[in-house]
Amino acid sequence: MGHGGDSKHEPSSKEQRRPRFGMTFDQQMIVSLIFAVIFVIFALFLPGFFTVGNLLTLMRTVAVLGILGLGMAVVVIGRGIDLSMIACLAVPAALVLSLAAKGYGVGGSLACGFGLAVAIGILNGVLVAYVEIPSLFTTLAVGIGIAGIGQSGLFEYDIIPWPTQLDSIGWIGRGSLFGIPYAVLAFIVATICIGIFLRRTRLGMFIYASGDSPSAARITGIPVRPMVVIQYVIAATVSTFAGLVLSASSNNMDTRIFNLTWIYDVILVVVLGGIGLSGGRGGVLNVVVGTLLIGTIVNGMTILDASFEVQNLIKGMVLLAALLLDSIVNPRNEETAQQGDI
């Protein structure tokens, strides 16, 4: 895997891969349609679903997932994947909580937490970009390592309560502004920031370019390796931000979430939304659509009082349906397939 790093990146088609119809019928469109259909069905037939209060609750439920999806999107567009995001959500945020509880002050604790996040991001990035270990393995190992450090020594218990010392920043996950929960606002702000970064800054365009074709990007003079490091630092920082929103919201940080299946949910909203794992495609809107679809399904199922197993079954079937539709409408062939597809 390590050698021949350049030869495996064949230049991909220079043409736009999407068919140039008036309206592209890509996965984002498919998922948007599925979302619209499910939403309308729930709104018509499920009493109590289509109310302002419930819709805000729906969005609040998936806000943290959406924020994580944004961080993951940056890495996936750059043709990587970050499986350490949940560890990076749990451990630095838990560090902030426990330092603040020990009286290190809000600023100092936050600095330590985000400092740890940046360090994790740099570690991931350097291992992927310079040591050239595939991102799948790098981030899996780093994630396990970070979670292990947290669980084995950093904290007394695996569930860390939100300390009263941090109540001054507790609003990021609690309460609401003009009726809109802060957690939802946090998601909106993160969406705008990442959106502007990806589409309006040179750095963002570089990420698309190097995700689409690393060797072509390198030839044109883009510093591909440092870009990769930046992607992982962004993902790690976004994760820690999501972790703070989550822990403020549920009043504790349960570091055991690393052992749960959250990371799959994050990949789910990214892929479901239509950001191809082969890189260079998609944007923040894909994440928003994917997140809203999951949120709608979970919310509707909870109102229907469906059992845990049935909820998982339906979630899985919707994902499968979306991917099936996509592969029927946009079949893969030599032209659309890229090196590095997972």
Partner 1 sequence: MISFKKMAFVGAMVASLAAGGIAHAQSSMDDPARADYYQDLKDKRVVFVPVFMGLDLTEGWSKLMAQQAQALGYKYEVRNSNFNTAAGAQTLTSLITEKPDVIVVQNPDVQSYAKLLARAEKAGIHVIQLNMKTNVLTTGFVGADVVSLAQTQAKAVADKCGAGTSGKVLILAGPPTSPFSAYMLKGYDNVLSANPAIKVVSVQSTGDYESAKAKSIAQVVLQQNPDLCGILGVWDNTDVGTAAALKEAGKTDQVFLSTSGGGGELACKGLQEGMWQHYVSYDVPGQGRDLNSLIVASMEDKNSVGSIKTILYTPLKVLTKDSVKNQSCWTLDTIH
- From 8, 102, 200, 256, residue interacting with partner 1 (rule: CB under 8 A): 256
SS3 252: strand
H or E element in which residue 181 lies: strand 180-181
* Nearer Cβ to partner 1 (252/336): 252
The three state secondary structure string of 87-102 is HHHHHHHHHHHHHHHC
Smaller CB separation from partner 1, 50 or 130: 50
Contact flag: residue 264 with partner 1 (CB under 8 A): no
The single-letter code of the amino acid at 28 is: Q
Q: What share of the chain is helix, strand, coil (3-state, %, to 5)?
A: 70, 5, 25
Instruction: Pick from 105, 108, 161, 316 the residue near partner 1 by CB under 8 A.
Output: 161
Which residue lies nearer to partner 1 by CB, 19 or 161? 161
Which two three-digit tokens encode residue 29? 């469109």
If you write DSSP's letter for every residue of 95-129 in order, what string do you get? HHHHHHHTT--HHHHHHHHHHHHHHHHHHHHHHHH
Region 172-201 residues binding partner 1, contact defined as CB under 8 A: 174-175
Q: Which two tokens stand for residue 133?
A: 């270990």
* Residue 210 engages partner 1 in binding (rule: CB under 8 A): no
The answer to whether 314 contacts partner 1 (rule: CB under 8 A) is no
Among the residue ranges 27-35, 73-81, 211-219, 250-258, the one whose residues contact partner 1 (CB under 8 A): 250-258
- Pick the binder of partner 1 from 151, 210, 215, 286 (CB under 8 A): 151
By rule CB under 8 A, what string of x and - marks binding of each residue 20-59 to partner 1? ----------------------------x--x-xx--xx-
Q: Tell me how far apart the alpha carbons of residues 72 and 236 are, in angstroms, rounded to a whole number.
A: 9
Tokens of 282: 């998609």
Beta-strand pair 159-161/180-181:
unpaired
Give the bridge partners for 176, in sequence order: 181
Q: Could you tell me the smallest distance in angstroms from the CB atom of residue 249 to partner 1?
A: 7
Q: Are 118 and 236 in contact (CB under 8 A)?
A: yes
Quick one: which of 38, 126, 145, 158 contacts partner 1 (CB under 8 A)? 158
C-alpha closest to that of 117 among 95, 149, 99: 95
Query: Judged by CB under 8 A, does residue 15 bind partner 1?
Result: no
Rounded Cα gap, residues 170 and 175, in angstroms = 9
Interaction of residue 327 with partner 1, rule CB under 8 A: no
**β-strand partners of 252:** 161
Assess 159 for contact with partner 1 (CB under 8 A).
yes
Residue 258 corresponds to which tokens in the numbers above? 């690393």
CB of 53 to partner 1, least distance (A): 5
Using CB under 8 A, pick the residue from 309, 328, 331, 334 that binds partner 1.
309
Q: Does 157 bind partner 1 (CB under 8 A)?
A: yes
Q: Sketch the per residue contact string, 100 through 139, with partner 1: x for CB under 8 A, - otherwise.
A: ----------------------------------------
Residue 77: CA count within 13 A, CB half-sphere: 31
Of the candidate residues 112, 149, 254, 329, the single one contacting partner 1 (CB under 8 A): 254
Q: Are 158 and 256 in contact (CB under 8 A)?
A: yes
Residue 160 exposure: Cα atoms within 13 Å on the Cβ side? 30
Residue from 156, 179, 202, 221 touching partner 1 (CB under 8 A): that is 156
Place of tokens 């510093």: 223
Nearer to partner 1, 78 or 173 (CB): 173
250 belongs to the binding site for partner 1 (CB under 8 A): yes
User: Binding residues for partner 1, per CB under 8 A?
Assistant: 48, 51, 53-54, 57-58, 60-61, 64, 151, 155-159, 161, 174-175, 246, 249-252, 254-257, 259-260, 298-299, 302-303, 305, 307-309
